Amino acid sequence: MAQDRFSVSSFRDAKKKGRPITMLTAYDYTTARLLDAAGIDSLLVGDSLGMTMLGYPDTLRVTMDEMIHHTRAVARAAEHAMVIGDMPFMSYHVSVEDAVRNAGRFIQQGRAQAIKLEGGRQVIDKVKAICRAQIPVLGHLGLTPQSVNVMGGFKVQGKDIEAARQIMDDALMLQDAGVFGIILECVPAALAARITETLEIPTVGIGAGNGCDGQVLVIQDLLGLYKQLRPKFVKTYADLGSAVEKAVKDYIEQVRTRAFPTEKHSFAMAPEVMEKLLSSK
Ligand code: KIV
């Protein structure tokens, strides 16, 4: 029997019941099918795809068209998981109108069920307008990679009192603005736990300790597929990178030695057809 799709109300219920929410990034149909079948609650089509799928050095040059293209592929695969599209840099920074129009594209063209955007007080007007358009919004505080140039690198956020207070206040402002949850990235575990206790909406942590209402990881990190960057918070559950490398080396070797393909991988032809072919030369 098909399971119901995980939704905004599932997020709320999960927090109430103390059932941790599971989220992973996904960027393509095949991977999203596997994650959905494994029972993941939510698939985030993160702008991290700029690095993991498109080979950019950061997330800043990802476009709306690229995000919609990948979101659509993931949405085609997800039967149970809630699909969340990540608003890329400059898709919600210039105006409220831009923000609502681009959020709408994730729903209409990307077939996502919700969007995520980065930031607190500086994007509150956009968050409110998107929520008013009946589009569920997931917030994102702490280390927000689109602000890498302002933050001066990928660093843990909220370590001193002012920074910690600012993240706490931003979380409350986002909650008041109507977000259904907040991702907390790279903040001290104690701060994330305190924010989680304070909020009525769930938090989803990444590098934010074990006190959040859920966890998210980048799928390439979990599977050991993206080795250029390995932050401390990443746990690699499988070394698919090495498995892929070995499989490809085996393939190269077998093609070169004619060990592949064998008869098992080939199609037979009736001998009389071949005879006719030869005699008709
Ligand atoms: O883009 C992304 O993948 C993200 C997650 C790491 C939270 O924002």
Q: Where do the DSSP E strands lie in the chain? A: 21-25, 42-45, 82-86, 114-116, 137-142, 181-185, 203-206, 214-217
Q: Are 191 and 55 part of one and the same domain?
A: yes
Instruction: Answer yes or no: do 46 and 185 share one domain.
Output: yes
Could you give the number of structural domains in the chain? 2
Dump pLDDT digits (tens) for 41-84.
999 999 999 999 999 999 999 999 999 999 999 999 999 999 99
How much of the chain exceeds pLDDT 90, in percent?
95
Quote the pLDDT of residue 226: 87
- Ligand 1 contact via 136 beta carbon (within 6 Å): no
**Same domain membership, residue 266 and residue 133:** no
By C-alpha distance, which of 131, 143, 134 is closest to 173? Answer: 131
Closest listed residue to residue 219, CA positions, set 20, 73, 28, 8: 28
Query: How far apart are the C-alpha atoms of 265 and 20, rounded to whole Å?
Result: 45
Ligand 1 neighbour 206 (Cβ under 6 A): yes
Asked, for residue 3, whether it belongs to a domain, the answer is no
Q: How far, in Å, is the centroid of ligand 1 from the Cα of 277?
A: 59
CA distance 40 to 58: 26
* pLDDT digits 0-9 by tens, 200-255: 999 999 999 999 999 999 999 999 998 887 889 999 999 999 999 999 999 999 99
Question: CATH code at 100?
Answer: 3.20.20.60
- The pLDDT, as a whole number, for residue 86 is 98
Tokens of 231: 């932050």
* Ligand 1 atom with the shortest distance to the CA of 59: 1
* Residue ranges making up the domain that contains 115: 8-238
Tell which residue, 156, 158, 170, 162, has the closest CA to residue 119: 170
**Residue 217: strand, helix, or coil:** strand
Q: How confident is the model at residue 152 (pLDDT cuts 50, 70, 90)?
A: confident
* 3: number of Cβ within 10 Å: 10
The three-point CA angle 76-106-130 to 5° equals: 145
150: CB partners within 8 A, 6+ apart: none
Answer yes or no: are the C-beta atoms of 214 and 202 closer than 8 Å. Answer: yes
Residue 153, pLDDT score: 86
Say if CB 114 and CB 8 are below 8 A apart.
yes
Comparing CA positions, the residue from 235, 234, 239 lying closest to residue 224 is: 239
> Is 185 annotated in the active site?
yes
Same domain, 115 and 167: yes
Residue 1 lies in a domain: no
19 and 150 assigned to the same domain: yes
Q: What pLDDT is recorded for position 267? A: 97
- Whether residues 233 and 268 share a domain: the answer is no
One domain for residues 190 and 52: yes
> Can you tell me the distance from the alpha carbon of 76 to that of 50, in angstroms, rounded to the nearest whole number?
20
Tell me what the mean pLDDT of segment 95-121 comes to: 98
- Is the CB of residue 71 below 6 angstroms from any atom belonging to ligand 1? no
CA distances from 260 to 153, 242, 249, 264 (A): 48, 21, 13, 10
Residue of 66, 97, 118, 185 marked active site: 185
